[in-house]
Structure formats: C-alpha cells, structure tokens
Structure 1
Amino acid sequence: MFQDDEIFGLEHRSFRSMVRRFAESLAPNAEAWDEQGIFPREVFEKSGELGLLGIRVDPEYGGSGLDWWYSAIYVEELARTRSAGLNMALMVQSDMATPIIAEVGSDELKRSFLAPAVRGEKIAALGISEPSGGSDVAAIRTTARRDGDDYVIDGQKLWITNGTRADFLTLAVRTGGLGAEGVSLLVFPTDAKGYSVGRALKKIGNRCSDTAELSFDGCRVPARFLLGQENQGFRHVMSSFQGERLVAAISTVATMQLALDDAVAYARERRAFGKPLIGHQVWRHRFVEHATAIEAARRLAYHAVDKMVRDPLGATREITMAKLFAGDLAQRVLYDCLQVHGGYGYTTDLPIGRAWTDARLVTIGAGTSEVMKEILAKLDGF
C-alpha cells in the first residue's frame, strides 16, 4: 500500500496549504449561510480565481491540467469550511456538471460554458434527477425532440443542486426510445424561453446549497449544444457519477476526521465524575475504534483515487466501495462525536450538529447505499 509521502510532494503540499487557507477563511460564515439557505455568488468567483473549479481541465480552457490527486486535496481541505452545503455546490461545479463538457463538448461549448464555469463567472448544475426517481437514469422522462436546428425540451427535474441560480445545466434528456439507449446530454442555458425554477427545497442538511425543482415547457436549445452523440449520453452520465461518488467519499472522510479531532479535544477539556471525559475508558476506546475506521476509509478512498488516475474506466469497483464504506461509517462516527458533546452537540453553537445532519445525505446522494451494494454485487458476480 502506498504511503502519503509517496503520493504528495512539495507542489501538492503547497496546493493543500492554499486551499486550506481559503476554506478556513470561509468557515466563520458557515452557520449564517446555512440559516440564509444560500451563500454569496462571490464564493464561486473567488474559487475560480484560485483555480479550484478547473483542476483537471485543459489549460486551453482556463484549467490547471492536473490529476485526481490534486482534486482529492481540494476536496479534503474544502471540508474545513465546516459547510457541507457550500462544498456540495462548489463540487457540483468542479466535478459533476462540467467534466462531461470537458470530455465530449465541442470547442464552442467549452469556450462558451466550460471556461466561464472554471473562472467562476457562470454557475453550473447537473440536471439528471427527476420527480419519479434519481438513481435510475435509464428511466428519465424529460424529452428533447429534434425540430430543425433545435431540440425542444419538455419535462421536469428535481433535487438539482445550484438549481435556483445556475446559468446553465448539463442536462440529461430522452431523445430516443425507452431505456439507457435513448438518453442524451445537452448544455442548457437557463435563459431559454419556457424554463422556470419552481420551489427551492427545504432540506435538513446542506442547507446553504440551493436545491431546486426545474420545469421545461417547450424550451428550445440549439442542436449543436448536444454533448457527444445523440442517444449515447447514458455512459457519460455513468462516468460523471464516478467522479461524484469519489469526491463524496473523500469529503466524507475529511469531515469525519475533523469531527473526531473536535470530539477528542472537547473530551480532554470536559470533566465528568471528577475527571476529563477522555479519562473514561468508554470514550477512549470509542475514539480508537473510530480513528481506525476513518483511516481504513481514507485508505480505501486513496486507493480509488490511485485507480482513477491510472485506469479511470476501471475504477468503478474501488470508487463504489469507498463511497459506500465512508457514507455508512459517517452515520456512526458523527453520531458518537455529537454524543460526546452532550447537550452542546444538539445546539447550533458547534459544527458537529451541522456535520451530523449534513452527513445523512452521503448514503442517499450520488446513488444510495443500496444502489452501491447492488453495483458491487453485479461487479463481483454475487
């Protein structure tokens, strides 16, 4: 197994320090932004200025042309904002909505949409999930009918992160028959006539990340905004899910580590029955158990990153395992990290309360834990 010093060199450490400073500068706003249900658009712009929204994008389109190890550092350090909602919104921009454009988009689409998103000038969203379901991409119902030089789009999307203020969507639509073979992808500018943003959903966690219901009523989009080939979008969606699941795993591990560090620090100071909480065996042993499990989750996530760098088309198993393991583990770790804080943990005064509710999404978003298990069962022939 590789060691950290074999992965991260001087340039990696310098990059980590930069991202950490940025994340920690945002952390004091986490609670207020959660209460407001949104964070300033300027955060996208600053992220773009720092080069965080196009880490793996070709420099020709404003990116840094780096690999997944730099993306892993970015995601790990972003956890220090103590705002999963903010992190989610930025990662949708950098690792979910735009990589498909970078991979198969035309030069026009890359210059008109990808490059401004990398700079933080345009906000991107990924339009896949619908009211009838999220993980079953092959069953999407939003249609795109060819009419001359345009596609005419009708339908609805739901659970769309950045949906209330996105300037464009990477949109999954049905252009053919039923099933996976009828799915296509389009870049959809949100100033199109017939497009509307419905309700902004109220969530129990990730609250400063806007999540919306979107409607398309005869919206026209130029046919040249097609990403890749018609009816071949399903595999690109599946590819985008790999990146989404990988950043979810890495981010969750980082969040657990921060929560455990906070819990241990609190247990050293808080006294009960004549001694610090950490002096009680029950907590010492629980911290050890969680530290061990978090390290295992980190190694699993790093193994997935390593596979993604070397063989991106063959990394599905490793990524799925990393996401499944980290998501399920977080429910236990963050529960105990809140528990050690007692009543204080149940208030909004400390980050652990937000972390606990925010982490519930990890077993749901980007494919539920049940879907992860089914993917692994098929891959392993069970």
Structure 2
Amino acid sequence: MTDMYFTEEHNLFRESLKDFLQKEVVPHIDKWEETGQIERFIWKKFGDMGFFGIAYPEEYGGMNLDFFYTVILLEELQKINSGGFAAAIWAHAYLAMTHLNAEGDTRIKSEYLAPSIAGDKIGCLCITEPFGGSDVAGMRTTAVKEGDHYIINGSKTFITNGVYSDYLVVAAKTAPELGGKGMSIFLLDRDMPGINATKLDKLGWRASDTGEISFDNVKVPAENLMGEENAGFGYIMQHFASERLIMGINAHARAEYAIEYALGYMKERTAFGVTIDKFQALRHKLAERTAEVEMSKAFNYTVAHRLGNGEYVVKEATMSKLTATKIADEVIYDCLQMLGGYGYMEEYPLARMLRDSRLGPIGGGTSEILREIIAKMVIDKKTYKPKTEEISKK
C-alpha cells in the first residue's frame, strides 16, 4: 500500500527525519515533559533542516513538497512518545503558518512566514474561547476599527504554543451583528501591550505550552488584518479539513507505535513458561486492533492523496478524525493492558501515550460535534464549499 504514495525520495526523507528526532529531540523529551517548555534551540534546528518549510513556497525559504512529506513528518513525530512536542511543532507549522501563507500579504509572509520556516519565530492560532469551544461562529472576542488600528478585546483558551510563541493569529468579530459572517483574522505580536497569557495544567501533552490568553484593548495596526475583513469564518472553515486530517494521521501513527511496542514487550515477557504473545486471547486482541489501525491508515492515505491534489475533503477529513482518534484511544488502552502493571508505570511509554491520546477526540472539534457535521452531510445532504469557490462566485 505504501508504494502507492511514497517514493524512494519519501523513504529517504523518513529515514533522515527518524535519525534527526532520535539524536536531537528524544534526549530532551523527558525534561520538556517535566518543565512544560520546549527549549528554543530545537525550533531553530527544525528550521535549519527545512522541516517547517515542507509545504510552503520556495520564495520564503520553503520546499513546496507534496503532502506526503507532511504525512511522514506527522507520523514520525508520533513515534517519539511526546504528544505535546508533536502538537507544538504541527500547531506552529500547520495551524499558525497555514493562515500566514493563505491570507497573509507579501509583507506578512516576508516578516513572519519566512522566519517561521527558518525556526526563528514561533506562532500560535487563537480561535477557541472559554465560552464556546466548538462554536466558532459564537465567539465573543471583538476587533473595533479606530482610524488606522483595530482595538481587540476578548479571550482565547486551550491555545497550543499560547504562552511562549512570538506571534498570534487571532480570530475576532469585526461586525458582531453579522454573527459568523462578521469575523476577521489578525496577526498580533506577542509584545503588544494588553496581551496576557496563563499556562494551563493539562492531563497530557505536557511538553507543550497550552495557554489561556486575554486581550485588553490591544492596539493592532490595520495592515495586520489578514485577508478580507469579515471573511474570517470562511478562512477558518477552509483550513479545518487539513487540521482534522492531521489529527487523524497523528492518531493512526501513535496507535501503530503502541502496537509495535506492545508486541515487542509480549515477545520477551514470559508467563507460565511461555512468552505472552503465545496466549490466544492476547493474540486475537492485537490482531483485531492491528486490522483497525491498518484500515484507518489506508483511509487516511487516500484522503491525504485527494487533499494533496487540491480536493476539498471536509467530509472525509472529518470522518478521519472521528474514527482514527477513537481507534487510537482503544488501541492504546488495550496495549497498556498487555503490559500489565508495567503499563501503569511512568518509565514505560504507554502511560504517557494514553494521556496524550485522550486529547484526540477533544481537540480540533469534539467527536460529538464531528458526528453532527457528518450527519448534516450524510443525512441532510448539506454541502460545504471551499472559501476560494465562494469568492469566485461573488
């Protein structure tokens, strides 16, 4: 199956990335998990290796490679057992930077996207609010135009890289009376007066800094509006397909890693005179879980192929996140069980992986919300169109 999507160049990239992660990242993971802060040097090393520029234009320092290079980056990040580190990296590269590239003008791309690709600037995307996680259209943060500036007030929460990032991509209502149709996207520098961030204490993803951010009369230059005023909701929806697929890919990769680890353990652990991989109850459970992961991965690769070809795969990406994150949680739960008491010990990887995986069905749209979105498409025959198509019809 992999030969359908991965060339020899892809495979060489994967091996190079694996080597980099083992040498440069893994030795520091436990420290970052404990402190909740990823040291800046590793961001620069990622930039120097070109990993942040995989999907971005060459004129800003990127490599403009096909989507399966991104798939490889996501998969390998899940196999070093730190969901928090992985989240910090992909939230920068595929949430914040996606908006810079899609809606930023030439100045913004030169001053923010290029340094982001180089690893000199770190970004975060600020959409979710304390009063309505999945209700994007109901956000309360406002941006009021005053002369050549906007004044932003409000708050965001559960923001990955929300404390230590250098810039923030922020969604705010510029015309609250229009509801979701009155939303815009802004670029804010971390040091702008009125921005305050508080680090949140989480169950998992402990290496990443997740923040609650308040905006108190933050004065933002009008030139930091990204894209059209009041078109922000469409921009956000446009990028949800890739975000959900990313989380689906993350899920099948960590589930695959959990199975690999559990099988390795079972081949060495003995009970009643034989290794436990000989017990039928355990063998059949792992066989079933492996089948589920393989099916999830095959589906995700198909959707990734279509996304890479420019298709708007919002339905399929939503299905990917819904099903893959559920499968990953169940797989990791069962793999931890295979280790018995050792699975519950922090020195073994499954305990951390279980905590980290639990965020999958919550972040980026809860499973409950995703089921309703899918129901609207499947039962009510609702269609979603890309923002570019909407603009072309105006």
TM above 0.5, yes or no, is: yes
SS of the residue corresponding to residue 288 of structure 2 reads helix
Q: Which residue type is aligned with residue 223 of structure 2?
A: R
- Offset from partner CA, 1:33-53 (integer Å, 9 cap, x none): 211112211121111111111
1:324 corresponds in structure 2 to: 322
| Contact 1:128-1:172 within 8 A present in 2 as well | yes
1:350 corresponds in structure 2 to: 348
Q: Which residue type is aligned with residue 363 of structure 1?
A: P
2:188 corresponds in structure 1 to: 188
Structure 2 distance, partners of 1:141, 1:347, is: 43
1:227 aligns with 2:226: yes
Structure 1 distance, partners of 2:178, 2:128, is: 16
Q: Residues 246-285 of structure 1 correspond to what in structure 2 (within 5 A)?
A: 246-285=245-284
1:215 corresponds in structure 2 to: 214
Q: CA deviation at 1:94?
A: 0.6
1:137 corresponds in structure 2 to: 136
Structure 1 distance, partners of 2:270, 2:277, is: 9
| Contact 2:240-2:314 within 8 A present in 1 as well | no
Q: CA deviation at 1:27?
A: 2.1
Structure 2 distance, partners of 1:350, 1:8, is: 32
2:43 corresponds in structure 1 to: 44
Instruction: With the length of structure 1 as denominator, give the TM-score of the two structures.
Output: 0.97
Q: CA deviation at 1:279?
A: 1.1
Q: CA deviation at 1:265?
A: 0.8
Match of 2:19 among 11, 21, 35: 21
Q: Which residue type is aligned with residue 268 of structure 2?
A: E
Q: Which residue type is aligned with residue 182 of structure 2?
A: G
Structure 2 distance, partners of 1:52, 1:339, is: 35
With 5-14 and 144-153 compared, the bigger mean Cα shift is at 5-14
| Contact 2:96-2:124 within 8 A present in 1 as well | yes
Q: Which residue type is aligned with residue 364 of structure 2?
A: A
Q: CA deviation at 1:282?
A: 0.5
Q: Residues 100-249 of structure 1 correspond to what in structure 2 (within 5 A)?
A: 100-176=99-175, 177-197=177-197, 199-249=198-248
Structure 2 distance, partners of 1:252, 1:209, is: 18
| Contact 2:139-2:172 within 8 A present in 1 as well | yes
SS of the residue corresponding to residue 157 of structure 2 reads strand
Q: Which residue type is aligned with residue 214 of structure 2?
A: S
With 302-311 and 83-92 compared, the bigger mean Cα shift is at 302-311
- Offset from partner CA, 1:52-95 (integer Å, 9 cap, x none): 11211111111111121111111111122211100000001111
2:91 corresponds in structure 1 to: 92
SS of the residue corresponding to residue 361 of structure 1 reads coil
- Offset from partner CA, 1:17-43 (integer Å, 9 cap, x none): 111112222223322321111221112
- Offset from partner CA, 1:229-278 (integer Å, 9 cap, x none): 00001011112222221111111111111110110111111111221111
| Contact 1:27-1:83 within 8 A present in 2 as well | no
Structure 2 distance, partners of 1:18, 1:245, is: 26
Aligned residues: 378
Identity percentage of aligned residues = 39
Gaps of 5+ in 1: none
Q: Residues 293-312 of structure 1 correspond to what in structure 2 (within 5 A)?
A: 293-312=292-311
- Offset from partner CA, 1:122-174 (integer Å, 9 cap, x none): 11000101110221110111110001111111111111110111111111001
Gaps of 5+ in 2: 381-394
Moved over 3 A (4+): none
SS of the residue corresponding to residue 204 of structure 1 reads coil
1:372 corresponds in structure 2 to: 370
Q: Which residue type is aligned with residue 166 of structure 2?
A: D
Structure 2 distance, partners of 1:106, 1:14, is: 34
Structure 2 distance, partners of 1:229, 1:40, is: 36
Q: Which residue type is aligned with residue 351 of structure 1?
A: P
Q: CA deviation at 1:178?
A: 4.2
Structure 2 distance, partners of 1:301, 1:373, is: 18
Structure 1 distance, partners of 2:98, 2:364, is: 15
| Contact 1:36-1:208 within 8 A present in 2 as well | yes
Structure 2 distance, partners of 1:88, 1:259, is: 18
Structure 2 distance, partners of 1:211, 1:104, is: 24
Structure 1 distance, partners of 2:4, 2:339, is: 37
2:383 corresponds in structure 1 to: none
Match of 2:339 among 334, 341, 347: 341
| Contact 1:20-1:80 within 8 A present in 2 as well | no
| Contact 2:92-2:124 within 8 A present in 1 as well | yes
